[in-house]
Amino acid sequence: MKEINKYIDHTLLKPFSTTSDIKKLCEEAKEYHFKSVCVNPTHVAFAKKELKDTDVLVCTVVGFPLGANTVQTKVFEAKDAIFNGADEIDMVINIGKAKDHDYDYITNEISSVVHAAEGKTVKVIIETCYLTDEEKVALCQCAALAKANFVKTSTGFGTAGATKEDVTLLTEHIPSMMEVKASGGIRTLDDFKWAVKAGAGRIGTSNGVQIMKEAKGTK
């Protein structure tokens, strides 16, 4: 199993985050060697500069947090993020189209962003709190067809975050080359443990430092 820190996307997506907040996030990520920092697009270039010559990746979000942008807008966002130095893209699907069961639209949308990302890791946020189990499974199939790298549970801005049941369900319905990112409500070491046990290959959390301190205290 990977070390705990390499599961964690150290996340700060609050709309009022300042440059000093992002600097602190990056300093923490460097200290703990997290897999990435996940920041809003406006902070990508700054985070990339702060993390130069480190092993920490820069992740950003597209179509965030509602997913209701047009495909063309999401494509532009992805290209702009890559230009500014993003290593990974977490995109929100069009949730209304998912509820319409317009899975051709969703597959095309994801595929368009994957293409725009030029080989960078793409994680597909499906916002599980609004979906039936059947819709979640169908969206896993869409993400697989579109050649995304991850299916991600939540934005953290919905009515609920990751659950053990959802992480298990998504893990069971993606191909072996894909992974699940659990996000939303992962705040403690116990939360981290159940998410990884359920199959998550990545954890999105704003509580990475606290999780690492808990882990150190239990060794």
> What residues are annotated to the active site?
90, 152, 181
Q: Which residues of 181-208 are buried (b: 16+ CB within 10 A; e: fewer)?
A: bbbbbbeebebbebbbebbbbbbbbbbb
Closest-CA residue to 18 (of 49, 48, 39): 39
Residue whose token pair is 């920041």: 39
CA 126 from chain centre, in angstroms, equals 10
Angle, CA 192 vertex, CA 128 and CA 37 arms, to 5°? 80
Distances (CA, A) of 34 to 88, 98, 107, 176, 178: 14, 32, 31, 24, 20
Q: Alpha-carbon torsion 181, 79, 158, 135, what sign? A: negative
In this structure, what token pair is assigned to residue 70? Answer: 């047009």
Cα angle, residue 199 at apex, residues 64 and 96 outer, rounded to 5°: 30
